[in-house]
Amino acid sequence: MKQRILFVCLGNICRSPAAEAMLQQMITREGLAEHIEVDSAGTYGGHAGERSDVRMRRAAGARGIEMTHRARQVREEDFDRFDRIIAMDDNNYEALFRLAPDRAAQQKIFRFREYLRHHPDWSYIPDPYYEGHEGFELVLDLLEDGCAQLLSELKA
Ligand code: 4NP
């Protein structure tokens, strides 16, 4: 059975589309595309239809990850389609919790920090939007850590 993963941040132009592109690359490399589907969305719809932030695209591109996602807002139907909905920070988590139509839907919501193995000091993925280049690099470091762990769980 196919497992469907949705990453969620605020704007869907920095953190969650980077997580999507990174996990997609790992899935493709390991030949798992038939078994795992990945997408991303934002709790805020103000950037809907836009490409990802150019700073995030450049930082990801420098690591060999191409980001082609167009931003969209998360919607209630996502709780039907996806098996795990993974929030980048506590604000996103709480917004998802309010959107979830029932208890079964609430149980699909996770925090990205649950997958971090090598960054004990981080309990969320920090919003890089108002940060410099280091903020985007930090996001990618955290995402690499968590996506590797998530993929190993999905394969198990
Ligand atoms: P993201 O970053 O949630 O990682 O996509 C942000 C993008 C846009 C805004 C905030 C965070 N914004 O306020 O427009």
Q: Which residues does 136 contact at the CB level (< 8 Å), separation at least 6?
A: 14, 55, 56, 59, 128
Predicted confidence at residue 102, as pLDDT, reads 98
Helix (H, G, I), strand (E, B) or coil at 86: strand
Evaluate: CB of 14 within 6 angstroms of ligand 1.
Answer: yes
Q: What is the per-residue pLDDT across 109-139, written as a single tens digit (0 to 9) for each?
A: 999 999 999 999 999 999 999 999 999 999 9
Predicted confidence at residue 4, as pLDDT, reads 98
Predicted confidence at residue 77, as pLDDT, reads 98
Query: What's the gap in Å between 56 CA and the centre of ligand 1?
Result: 11
Predicted confidence at residue 38, as pLDDT, reads 98
Predicted confidence at residue 149, as pLDDT, reads 98
Q: What is the per-residue pLDDT across 94-103, written as a single tens digit (0 to 9) for each?
A: 999 999 999 9
Predicted confidence at residue 1, as pLDDT, reads 86
15 counts as catalytic:
yes
Q: Collect the ranges in the chain with pLDDT lower than 50.
A: none
Query: What's the gap in Å between 14 CA and the centre of ligand 1?
Result: 6
Report residue 109: phi and psi, to 5°. -90, 130
Name the domain count of the chain.
1
First to last CA, the chain: 13
Task: Please enumerate, as own/partner, the contacts of 22-29 that have beta carbons within 8 Å and a separation of 24 or more.
Answer: 22/60, 22/65, 22/140, 22/143, 22/144, 22/147, 23/147, 23/150, 23/151, 25/64, 25/65, 26/147, 26/148, 26/151, 27/151
CATH code, 21: 3.40.50.2300
Structural domain of residue 90, as residue ranges? Answer: 3-155
Residue whose CA lies nearest to ligand 1 atom number 14: 11
Q: Which of 14, 15, 39, 89 is catalytic?
A: 15
Predicted confidence at residue 12, as pLDDT, reads 98
